[in-house]
């Protein structure tokens, strides 16, 4: 294997350790960072994500509070709960696990959360701060991608960056963060023409489309950095990303594996955001 393997498990552990130190420092000032997690319904994948977040909080020293609601919960009832959590000064972060059942308007839920407690960074106020360089949170997965690149010893400044995918959760925000690091960014998507040609000019490729073999070896230039956000199953049922890992690793300069690359970073950055939220709400930031 030629490419440097970017170890998301190791880097996420570093960030969690830093978050644990920050939590200790906050507790010394009489502040216990607290995350409220709300799960509506019994989606098995969502239950796994929520449990992982609770375990991370426990490991880092952040208090967590869970609210598990039935799948038949009304939009009004969920919004009432969010209002109570907004008003609770002991709660610093609020995370409503998506997706929510179809009777609930996801956008109303996002708008209901106090921007100062929006540790997922989905509220338009925080999205606006991201785009204008204002104070606040950074979205967890995109911010984690930037940490993966920088903490593995690579600079983004002046690099040609290609982002494949234009979602509000990953594609758009990671493009903005790459620009803030002085990268030159091209966003590609399902209607992009000549995707392979565009990718061949990239120093950094971030693929976040959820499709097996979106990026193949013939699309990658020698020494490029590949960040694979995809979580897919191949024909054999094996977990894999968007990138043809086995072939691309022989050409790339650095690459993230799936699993063990971007995945662990999301929760690590969430822990960091919980501490930031506690600081903001206590006038420390």
Neighbours of 185 (CB within 10 A): 20
203 assigned to active site:
no
What is the three-class DSSP state of 88?
coil
| 19 within 8 A of 269, measured Cβ to Cβ | no
Point out which residues pair with 37 in neighbouring strands.
Answer: 66, 95
Choose the catalytic residue: 16, 53, 117, 249: 53
Integer angstrom CA distances of residue 275 from 56, 79, 131, 281 = 13, 24, 22, 10
Point out which residues pair with 162 in neighbouring strands.
Answer: 186, 205
Point out which residues pair with 94 in neighbouring strands.
Answer: 36
Choose the catalytic residue: 97, 114, 117, 281: 97
Choose the catalytic residue: 114, 118, 120, 203: 120
Pairing of strands 239-240, 232-233: antiparallel
120 assigned to active site:
yes
Give DSSP secondary structure letters for 47-87: HHHHHHHHHHHHHHT-EEEEEEE-TT--HHHHHHHHHHHHH
Which residues are known catalytic residues? 53, 97, 120
């Amino acid at each position: 294997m030629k490419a440097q393997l970017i170890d998301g498990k190791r880097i996420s552990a570093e960030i969690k350790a830093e978050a644990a130190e920050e939590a200790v420092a906050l507790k010394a000032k009489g502040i216990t960072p607290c995350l409220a997690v709300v799960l509506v319904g019994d989606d098995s994948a969502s239950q796994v994500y929520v449990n992982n977040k609770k375990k991370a909080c426990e490991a880092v020293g952040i208090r967590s509070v869970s609210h598990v609601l039935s799948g038949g919960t009304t939009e009004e009832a969920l919004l009432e709960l969010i209002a109570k959590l907004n008003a609770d000064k002991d709660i610093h972060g609020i995370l409503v696990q998506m997706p929510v059942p179809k009777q609930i308007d996801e956008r109303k839920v996002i708008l209901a959360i106090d921007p100062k407690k929006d540790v997922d960074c989905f509220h338009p106020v925080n999205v606006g701060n991201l785009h204008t360089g204002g104070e606040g949170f950074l979205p967890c997965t995109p911010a984690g991608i930037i940490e993966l690149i920088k903490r593995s010893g690579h600079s983004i400044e002046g690099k040609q960056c290609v982002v494949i995918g234009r979602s509000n959760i990953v594609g758009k925000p990671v493009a903005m963060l790459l620009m803030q690091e002085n990268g030159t960014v091209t966003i590609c998507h399902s209607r992009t023409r000549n995707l392979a040609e565009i990718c061949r000019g990239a120093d950094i490729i971030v693929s976040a489309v959820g499709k097996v073999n979106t990026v193949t070896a013939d699309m990658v230039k020698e020494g490029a950095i590949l960040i694979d956000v995809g979580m897919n199953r191949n024909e054999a049922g094996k977990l894999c990303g968007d990138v043809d890992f086995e072939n691309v690793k022989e050409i790339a300069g650095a690459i993230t594996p799936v699993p063990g690359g971007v995945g662990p970073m999301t929760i690590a950055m969430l822990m960091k955001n919980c501490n930031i939220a506690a600081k903001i709400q206590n006038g420390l930031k």
